[in-house]
Amino acid sequence: MRFTRSTLITLIVLFIISVASLGYLFYTPSDSKFDNDLEIIKLEALRGDAKSQMTVGTFCILQEGKIEEGLKWIRKSSDQGNPVAQCFLGVSYFEGNFLDKDQEKGVEFYRKAAIQGYQPAQSRLADCYLYGWVVKKDTAEALKWYHLAALQGDTLAMNNIGSMHLHGEGVKENYTEAFKWFHKAAMCGNSGSQLTLGQMLSVGDGCEKDEVEAYAWFKIAADEEPDAVKELQSLRKKITAEQISQAMKRVHELKPVIKAAFDNYIKSIVSEKEPTIVQNAKLAL
């Protein structure tokens, strides 16, 4: 099976937040502790290293099936302020994974991690405010957290910001601003935004009408979005063969740029070298 970019993003984010070896992914090959020696990592955990505690906790849960012991280590890591551990507990409470479902506690842990600039927690907290899950629906608060997540490359957050501007949720309806955010997300590989971008270009909503560019974005989105295929079929009846040729040239120009942006986003998820981004997110609160 070949996974598309958006599918990979979703799988990797879920992998990191809730059901995978989070601790291991937050070490890098240059980290002297990353030597696959679990005993050394356990010793570091006993000495109070929060990352090691998270690693041991997820190993206990996912590799050994020792849920209680694993949660003990993850709580220790969370108590030291590790946002990854906090988000793990947030997901576990909110979704009822490993812990009895308690969505209020889940939101509490999302907030702890989000305040520290942890992007997945920011996006989840924004969802809660947008849809009124547990907390009172507050579109302005949702927009704030989506903006912080978007600063770190979260394409779903970018797409949601675009949608809020498009439909006037929490902000005044503004097609130009919506187009800007859909374009950001589309350039980073979000297929839903690519489809919406094509639709806006095809009629000139928030931008100049450009059927060639619209065709290019529909073509890029078509691998994942069935509606994009329908849009292509409809647009083919309206434009010339020369225009289609121009659009395909544009597709070949865009795809490497989109892939590079996607690759950079994945690196940002699995790398811990983000102090500037985290600091900027805190300052923006």
CA–CA distance from 219 to each of 148, 199, 263, 267 (Å)? 30, 12, 21, 26
Q: Identify the sign of the CA torsion 172, 177, 178, 179.
A: positive
Pairwise pLDDT comparison (271 vs 247), residue with the higher score: 247
Cβ atoms 83, 117 nearer than 8 A: yes
- What's the whole-model pTM score? 0.81
CA–CA distance from 62 to each of 21, 101, 163 (Å)? 7, 19, 37
Which residue has tokens 């576990």?
A: 92
Rounded to the nearest 5 percent, the helix, strand and coil shares of the chain are 75, 0, 25
**Once rounded to an integer, what is the mean pLDDT over residues 30-45?**
69
What kind of architecture, by CATH, is found in domain 153-268?
Alpha Horseshoe (1.25)
Give the type of residue at 238: K
Identify the pLDDT of residue 270: 64
| Structural domain spans, the chain | 153-268
**Once rounded to an integer, what is the mean pLDDT over residues 16-28?**
36
For the stretch 100-135, pLDDT in tens is 999 999 999 999 999 999 999 999 999 999 999 999
